[in-house]
């Protein structure tokens, strides 16, 4: 379902079917099928408010497809190629002139795609024509910078993120302590802010922090990376594996950054990544202001002239980094997220939920719908429970109750029942003790009721009636040992013992 929503969103941004297919990791035929069904059903982007996933699928799948309209006749590509060789002529200008003669002709994205396919037959290494504001190429530089630890003398590596805009070659570079997902997403946010806008397409490499499953035809993108793309309104189209020409801009940009930025600071010692970034800021400004060798102007001047106004505007809010995972709801209607327990509606017991964990919030989703949201708690092992998530006393389908738990353990023995009753009484809500009670019941099934009853009697004697204590006693067979007699013990008669009268 997320792929269908992403297909409709990217089609709204006027991407071609093949570009949408590469970004979403689905066949182009599937993209075309969903777009035709949405068009016939009268659905566009954004979707109508209140339209759920079930209703959306019903409207799409129940809609009969109409006959596909054949593509218009191909343009005169040799004439287009000849016009492109003239000064100041862009492919968009040629397309606009083409649409004046054929109003029902190809859209701009399809026109560019067909032209590039035709031009590739003339020269396999034809220079790509980059439309202003269309693409931003991103990658990590292969060269790292040592960061020295002043305390113990060890060094770690700082990794350099590089982003290059396709039309102007304007470059952004920033160092990070690692290449993990948080650094990768933060780097994108900083790059968009640096450029003051967003390119319609972002072209990364097939790195694991961005692409979960690399594939030439159907790459599977990382969930948080897709979320970032949706927030900024860009489409992610990873470069093909082992095809560096797909991202030649950033490959060249990485070389230039390494030669003009990293080489310039090669003799400096840095004790923090922030110090390295401070040293790179003036060097990056100098790089973007440096005149081109074979073209007029610089990266800054070309960016201001042709690309700055073509970028998509930045969103009103800053993207919030988040990790996605899955969790199953336990019988106490809580899920474990980062070693903390968060409640969900009681009816979702045993259901598999999607968890979105950010620095401040924990959001839980079921079939794409958010069912619970909590403020993230830093306290491990504790419970965060919303009152509306607890079961109501009048609900007939309430299956797990303190009475039922006590009825189960009563069959094991009275000592076990007393231990479980204490566990349920000590919790703010009895449901929070269900996990410990179920653990004790499972232990009794594996060791037998007699051993569990003996261990519970020992736990009550020493006041340590917890699941972990009982498990430790059973593993070490302490349940078979007799309880220590009560103190004080009578002193035996012996000639070496002085006795209490000696001290009077």
> 280 and 139, same structural domain?
yes
* Same domain membership, residue 287 and residue 341: no
d(CA 386, CA 374): 9
Per-residue model confidence (pLDDT) at position 391:
73
- Distance between start and end Cα atoms, the chain: 88
> Is 489 within the bounds of a domain?
no
Per-residue pLDDT of the chain (504 residues; tens, 9 = 90+): 667 778 777 877 778 888 888 888 788 888 888 888 888 877 777 777 777 767 777 777 765 554 445 567 788 888 888 787 666 778 888 899 888 888 888 889 989 999 888 887 764 444 556 788 888 999 888 899 999 988 888 999 999 999 999 888 899 999 999 988 889 999 999 999 999 999 999 988 766 554 544 444 344 467 788 888 889 999 888 876 555 555 567 688 888 999 889 989 988 999 999 999 999 999 999 999 999 876 778 999 999 988 999 999 999 888 888 888 889 999 888 999 989 999 999 889 999 999 988 878 899 999 888 999 999 998 888 999 888 887 764 343 345 667 777 888 888 889 898 988 888 888 776 666 787 888 888 888 888 989 988 989 888 888 888 888 888 988 988 888 887 655 555 666 777 777 767 776
In a domain, 172, yes or no: yes
Task: Verify that 332 and 418 share a domain, yes or no.
Answer: no
Cα-based distances in Å from 132 to 91, 194, 402, 453: 11, 17, 66, 77
257 shares its domain with 174: yes
- Is 383 part of any domain? yes
Question: CA torsion sign, 420 to 422 to 423 to 425?
Answer: positive
19 and 157: one domain? Answer: no
Same-domain status, 416 and 370: no
Q: Among the three residues 345, 368, 389, which one is the final residue of a domain in this structure?
A: 389
Same domain, 306 and 326: no
Task: State residue 270 phi and psi, 5-degree precision.
Answer: -115, 135
Range of the domain at 181: 135-310
Does residue 279 form part of some domain? yes
Within this chain, do residues 360 and 453 fall inside the same structural domain, yes or no? no
Q: Which two tokens stand for residue 368?
A: 């794409």
> How many of the other CB atoms lie within 10 Å of CB of 279?
16
Taking Cα atoms as reference points, which of 311, 263, 315 lies closest to residue 145?
263
- pTM for the full model? 0.51
Domain boundary among 354, 389, 424: 389
Instruction: Please write down the HEC assignment for all residues of 91-134.
Output: HHHHHHHHHHHCCCCCCHHHHHHHHHHHHHCCCCCCCCCCCCCC
- Does residue 381 lie within any of the structural domains? yes
How many domains, in total, are found in the chain? 5
Q: State the Cα–Cα distance between residues 5 and 369, nearest whole angstrom.
A: 13
Helices (H) and strands (E) in the chain, counts: 17, 15
* Closest to 277 (Cα-Cα) out of 210, 186, 203, 209: 186
CA atoms of 161 and 173, how far apart (whole Å): 5
Distances (CA, A) of 161 to 23, 220, 280, 322, 374: 21, 22, 12, 20, 33
- Residue 245, judged by CB atoms within 10 A of its CB (0-12, 13-18, 19+), counts as exposed
- C-alpha 374/C-alpha 362 separation (Å) is 5
Residue in 324, 374, 329, 320 with CA at minimum distance from that of residue 352? 329
Q: What is the pLDDT of residue 272?
A: 93
Residues 170 and 240 in one domain: yes
Contacts of 17 (CB under 8 A, 6+ apart): 28, 31, 32, 35
Report the C-alpha gap between 369 and 366 in whole angstroms.
5
Pick from 12, 28, 61: which residue ends a domain? 61
SS3 290: coil
Quickly list H helices, 170-222.
181-195
| Two structure tokens written together for 289 | 């202001």
The answer to whether residue 43 is domain-embedded is yes
Asked if 268 and 279 count as a contact pair (C-beta separation under 8 A), the reply is yes
- Domain contains 488: no
Q: What's the pLDDT at 347? A: 87
Residues 302, 351, single domain; the answer is: no
* 111 and 247 belong to one structural domain: no
One domain, residues 189 and 140: yes
* Integer angstrom CA distances of residue 497 from 52, 220, 493, 501: 86, 81, 7, 11
Structural domain contains residue 500 = no
| CATH code for the domain of 263 | 3.30.420.10
């Amino acid at each position: 379902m997320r792929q269908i929503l992403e297909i409709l969103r990217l089609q709204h941004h006027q991407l071609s079917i093949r570009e949408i297919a590469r970004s979403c990791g689905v066949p182009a035929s599937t993209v075309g099928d969903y777009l035709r069904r949405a068009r016939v059903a009268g659905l566009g982007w954004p979707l109508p408010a209140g339209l759920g996933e079930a209703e959306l699928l019903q409207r799409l799948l129940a809609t009969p497809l109409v006959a596909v309209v054949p593509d218009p006749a191909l343009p005169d590509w040799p004439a287009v190629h000849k016009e492109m060789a003239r000064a100041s002529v862009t492919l968009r200008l040629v397309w606009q002139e083409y649409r004046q003669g054929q109003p029902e002709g190809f859209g701009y994205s399809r026109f560019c795609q067909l032209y590039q396919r035709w031009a590739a037959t003339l020269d396999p290494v034809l220079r790509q024509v980059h439309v202003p504001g269309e693409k931003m190429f991103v990658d990590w530089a292969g060269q790292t910078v040592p960061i020295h630890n002043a305390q113990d003398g060890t060094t770690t590596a700082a990794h350099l993120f590089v982003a290059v805009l396709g039309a102007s070659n304007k470059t952004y570079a920033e160092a990070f302590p690692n290449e993990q997902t948080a650094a990768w997403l933060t780097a994108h946010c900083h790059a968009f802010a640096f450029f003051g806008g967003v390119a319609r397409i972002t072209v990364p490499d097939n790195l694991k922090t961005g692409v979960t499953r690399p594939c030439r035809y159907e790459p599977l993108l990382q969930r948080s990376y897709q979320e970032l793309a949706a927030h900024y309104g860009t489409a992610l189209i990873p470069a093909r594996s082992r095809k560096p020409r797909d991202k030649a801009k950033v490959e060249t940009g990485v070389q230039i950054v390494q030669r003009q930025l990293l080489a310039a600071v090669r003799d400096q010692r840095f004790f923090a990544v922030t110090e390295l970034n401070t040293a790179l800021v003036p060097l990056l400004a100098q790089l973007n202001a440096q005149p081109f060798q074979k073209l007029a102007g610089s990266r800054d001047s070309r960016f201001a002239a042709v690309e700055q106004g073509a970028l998509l505007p930045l969103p009103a809010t800053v993207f919030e980094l988040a990790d996605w995972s899955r969790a199953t709801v336990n019988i106490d209607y809580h899920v474990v997220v980062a070693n903390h327990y968060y409640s969900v509606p009681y009816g979702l017991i045993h259901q598999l939920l999607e968890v979105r964990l950010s620095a401040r919030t924990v959001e839980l989703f079921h079939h794409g719908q958010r069912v619970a949201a909590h403020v993230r708690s830093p306290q491990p092992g504790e419970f965060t429970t919303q009152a509306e998530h607890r079961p109501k006393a009048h609900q007939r389908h309430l299956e797990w109750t303190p009475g039922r738990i006590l009825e189960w353990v009563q069959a094991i023995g009275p000592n076990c029942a007393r231990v479980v009753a204490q566990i349920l009484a000590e919790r703010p809500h009895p449901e929070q003790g269900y996990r410990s009670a179920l653990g004790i019941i499972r232990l009794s099934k594996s060791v037998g009721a007699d051993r569990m009853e003996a261990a519970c009697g020992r736990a009550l004697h020493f006041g340590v009636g917890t699941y972990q204590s009982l498990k430790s006693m059973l593993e070490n067979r302490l349940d078979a040992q007799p309880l220590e007699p009560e103190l004080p013990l009578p002193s035996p008669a012996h000639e070496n013992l002085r006795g209490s009268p000696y001290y009077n």
